[in-house]
Structure 1
């Protein structure tokens, strides 16, 4: 268990570990107070690193548990405390998966007997014993399945809370720590890190030619990390990870922050110790310990980088890869000598760059421009350095230049900025998403639904082919749905767990498309002219599946009976501008 290991290591080193109040902490502590409204057991679940052990420790401390016992290797701990006006036994299973089969555990002979007692307590209205159980989400259900009939009712209760997200009953408080937004965790961890008293001591004891001196990369990284602009851009990336349905637990956030501050490719394990700094300053390689590169794991081996989920998530944005614009690359290559670009270069590239790094960059650039023939198959070191410079520019471009320099074109998700500003921002403030954004998404849907370059965005065209809804070109128009409210029809975006596009045919007939980052990017690109299969085949299939549901909803809409028994098709055609029209084709029965 990481928390116990960290606490022991901090105690040995005589330093204060990072500490912040978890978003669920105060609510949890209120459940084990003498004046609590009701005695309830507690289940803490989530992925590894979400903070379950830490919260168990806080709860154990709150009920007066023995600290020496807690820091032993035992998994099950038991004490008594006054909770909800009555003295009760409190049992804590701080890691359900690690709990051995053999006991004893308090009055229970083995794991089976203990878990059967836990199951009974979860269903009791006023239990004499409450249990606090921590387990990773998948393993929680596996353990209760193995209990068989004796745990069937509790298993159903847990499944409702975990899988279906239903409210847990009053006899057990269920907390899925993975539901805490990673942006919230990032903010808490950043504040705890930056406000740690150890930084003041580092400044006071700085070595002029070594650790925390003026040329120390750790100090430089710390000062960049304190900048509001850097934090804002980092938070945007974390918000986009949430919108891509990528969860980042506390442990991974702390690991990332450590790597950002301490990373250096020449250090042991890629992380600097204070004693390393003087050597790197002396040999002119301190610049390699750069926060803009460490954020994406450039200080680590490829295998190590790929094994760290949070860094792998960040690299999915493609920042520093092939994503760029001609203007950005012109600034990077010709900026120092071009009067129209020089101010950009000085402010976005040179500013804040350490002297050793700046000297090397100038030498590489001059060598490349003077002898371009030396670059064989784009393998010149200067061209390789452009990736690092683009990464820095992503964080240094000011907000008032985001549109001008097309910041988000430095990423794979060119419409990510729009997703944040034009979709998430208004929805989070209780406002409507602008109809122009909805219209663009509808145009993208129309092009996927029909397989044609439709330009209309005023209504959704639900079409199929003669062989069904999954053919490449679909010219049989089944239904249209107005974007603007009309006779019960409308298309809008609402905020659920994700922003969700709602296609309403009438008051009781709706289809829903959750918009994660990839789906939004896909539809915006298709609306702009990209081929549906060129960005994400999986996303294309998701949209076709949504179309199938919308088609079923359309044909089930109650319509007045037709007077004629003949079959009528509505055949879609496009004019030169891509505007659709439909022609009725009647099939007469002989």
Structure 2
């Protein structure tokens, strides 16, 4: 850039969106992002003079409806840190006519009169109360829930473990088991379990994809971005990485592909048991747009843009790396649950031969050149940049040292960034380059499709069912069976956890038949996960079930395909072996019942066994063999 232009930009007035960007920056994963706490939002907004980031909250309308209905009893707003408990309390306070001035007072317990002569007592955070205040609030909650108090009711915000521990402690000091503890614990563990006089709103149960979409939209579609339209830092051939990242997040040219893929990752994480609070999702949204490793604390402000453009390092602020905290020190990345969860997918490290071949040889191989131009070279900012192409040439055409570990590190690092970008940009119409191959969960797409089919009460894909059946057969027998139409429940004759089991205890259809025998794949109503149900006895009502988390689903599918990476722990195998042991136990109990009820069999020293044998095509079958013993 010409020096005169640089000086003009540096001495001109602040860019038009600088106040908004500075405010958004405080939402990012900075070492001290106090503005993410609801208590500090109002002050920060007044200083920045921008509109607040607003999230639509379905729970807020439900809470307001409950309080306004006049139904006696209290309200518990529960969740983990960062779920927005205080935000919901403050919003409800305002909806009921409470004054902001009163809410800002340091007093932790506040009262508000509402229609019908009732009084709402607000406790915006149970942890702020002293032991004496906490006991008083919980006693008030007990009287309200048990029907001893109708005029006053409590609106209480608390973490799950916090309120359960307080109730346990209070009960112990009173020499009893507190009557509300089990009631509230059941409400946390069992969705829909509610007491008529205690409305529990668990914010941690909010769907992650919905929360993510709300956060991304609230940040990327904030009205203050309109100021960027007149910013000289993003016109006349200059590229502002902040504006570029926002445009890609909006996804107006690709149907919001990046937001959808990110939503898929968050859903897989949820089914694996991870919980991402709204606070973290907002931090992720801000980091995606503002992240750059050379900026202060890894987050850009408008004052950084000229320097970044001058240094030619716009590509280092790629939104595709910012998703995984590539702009942050490793310690800060690992301190945030959202980045720990997302980096756990291995995106950037995982790959396929086809994709790496494209990235390395795409410019020279005539068979790959069209795909390279379409998928890599078409992105001039974060794809085939001049620095990427130069590193690629050095890797391919340089001396031997350029391809050794140290010499190749620069290009390999760029390949990692390209894999991250391709995960979010590869179209579904590219059969040779599957974006899920760039993750540790290569069958995650099949998992989400299976869940969607079960939710809609449709049949799951036959390919998914076949892989699950083949994976089960291989794990339970330890043999490379290809059967997908039947399930072999195998044993080794005694030790159920043996890795190789050639004795067929039960041979079942891989699809439920009349009488209930066989395997069915259903949706678990509590967890929302798929579930394998197997009945080993014709006409029996008892089923042996196995919940399919994404990890277990991936494990079975990888085994079915004949390859299992060492990164998988033994936990999945142990879970499957325990499942097999329960199947064997159910069959054993049935046979024991037959022996008691039926005619005793003659004991002539003959032992009848069914051995699993394998045909040339890999399909197994059971062969009965009679063994004479004791002769």
Alpha-carbon distance, 1:552 to partner: 2.3
- Would the alpha carbon gap of residues 564 and 339 (structure 1) be closer, same or farther in structure 2, given more than 3 Å must change? same
1:573 equivalent in structure 2:
612
The answer to whether the 8 Å contact 2:284/2:338 transfers is: yes
* 494, 498, 510: which one aligns with 2:529: 498
* 5, 19, 22: which one aligns with 2:57: 22
The answer to whether the 8 Å contact 1:45/1:175 transfers is: yes
1:107 equivalent in structure 2:
none
Tell which has more relative contact order, 1 or 2 (C-alpha 8 A, sep 6+): 2
Pairwise mapping of residues 135-154 of structure 1 onto structure 2 (< 5 A)?
A: 135-148=158-171, 149=174, 152-154=178-180
2:131 equivalent in structure 1:
101
Alpha-carbon distance, 1:199 to partner: 0.8
2:411 equivalent in structure 1:
382
The answer to whether the 8 Å contact 2:555/2:564 transfers is: no
Alpha-carbon distance, 1:247 to partner: 1.4
Pairwise mapping of residues 410-421 of structure 1 onto structure 2 (< 5 A)?
A: 410-421=438-449
Alpha-carbon distance, 1:372 to partner: 4.2
The answer to whether the 8 Å contact 2:481/2:614 transfers is: no
Aligned to 2:114, the other structure's residue is in SS state strand
2:544 equivalent in structure 1:
511
Aligned to 2:94, the other structure's residue is in SS state helix
1:232 equivalent in structure 2:
260
Aligned to 2:233, the other structure's residue is in SS state coil
Cα-to-partner distance string for 1:502-542 (whole Å, 9 max, x where unaligned): 11344511111111111001001111223697733111111
* 58, 83, 88: which one aligns with 2:91: 58
2:109 equivalent in structure 1:
76
- Would the alpha carbon gap of residues 260 and 244 (structure 1) be closer, same or farther in structure 2, given more than 3 Å must change? same
Aligned to 2:487, the other structure's residue is in SS state strand
Normalising by structure 2, report the TM-score. 0.86
Which stretch shifts more, 569-578 or 39-48? Answer: 569-578
The answer to whether the 8 Å contact 2:613/2:621 transfers is: yes
Moved over 4 A (4+): 531-534, 586-590
- Would the alpha carbon gap of residues 576 and 510 (structure 1) be closer, same or farther in structure 2, given more than 3 Å must change? same
1:429 equivalent in structure 2:
456
1:561 equivalent in structure 2:
598
- Would the alpha carbon gap of residues 151 and 131 (structure 1) be closer, same or farther in structure 2, given more than 3 Å must change? farther
* 166, 170, 186: which one aligns with 2:212: 186
1:106 equivalent in structure 2:
none
Cα-to-partner distance string for 1:188-229 (whole Å, 9 max, x where unaligned): 12222232111112223x12369x984110000000001112
The answer to whether the 8 Å contact 2:212/2:281 transfers is: yes
Which stretch shifts more, 286-295 or 143-152? Answer: 143-152
Pairwise mapping of residues 133-532 of structure 1 onto structure 2 (< 5 A)?
A: 133-148=156-171, 149=174, 152-165=178-191, 167-204=193-230, 206-208=231-233, 214-227=238-251, 228-321=256-349, 323-354=350-381, 358-375=385-402, 377-379=404-406, 380=408, 381-401=410-430, 403-421=431-449, 423-486=450-513, 487-496=515-524, 497-505=528-536, 506=539, 508-530=541-563
Aligned residues: 573
Partner Cα distance (2:226, 2:243) in 1: 11
The answer to whether the 8 Å contact 1:92/1:132 transfers is: yes
2:8 equivalent in structure 1:
none
- Structure 2 residue runs without a partner (length 5+): 1-35
- Once superposed, what is the RMSD of the aligned Cα atoms? 2.4
Aligned to 1:556, the other structure's residue is in SS state helix
Alpha-carbon distance, 1:461 to partner: 1.8
- Structure 1 residue runs without a partner (length 5+): 103-109
- Would the alpha carbon gap of residues 252 and 534 (structure 1) be closer, same or farther in structure 2, given more than 3 Å must change? closer
Residue 542 (1) aligns with residue 575 (2):
yes
Which stretch shifts more, 177-186 or 476-485? Answer: 476-485
Normalising by structure 1, report the TM-score. 0.91
Aligned to 2:67, the other structure's residue is in SS state coil
